[in-house]
Amino acid sequence: MNKPTFQIVTTNGQALTEGYAQAGTFSDLGGEAPVLESYKHDGDYLELHYTGGYRQLIPEHRIDHIAYI
């Protein structure tokens, strides 16, 4: 696996790291958990893109910081 290039940390302390599956993020989908590939700003949200075409929207006010590794 390649080294991650970014990590998103939310205001509740959750760390979302590129290249890793996020425990509990897609718990109801069954099978393997999708892996975080990229993100983009979408208005008042941060849109996270995962393998398998899944996406997750997080309100910007819930983002503490984004670290570039």
8-50 pLDDT per residue, tens: 999 999 999 999 987 665 666 666 788 999 999 999 999 999 9
23/43 Cα distance (integer angstroms): 26
Structural domain range at position 20 = 6-68
Residue 1 lies in a domain: no
15/66 Cα distance (integer angstroms): 10
Of the candidates 48, 53, 42, 44, the residue with the CA atom closest to the CA atom of residue 8: 48
Please give the tally of structural domains in the chain. 1
Residue 58 lies in a domain: yes
Q: Give me the pLDDT at residue 30, please.
A: 66
Residue 40 lies in a domain: yes
Residue 33 lies in a domain: yes
Residue 14 lies in a domain: yes
pTM of this structure: 0.84
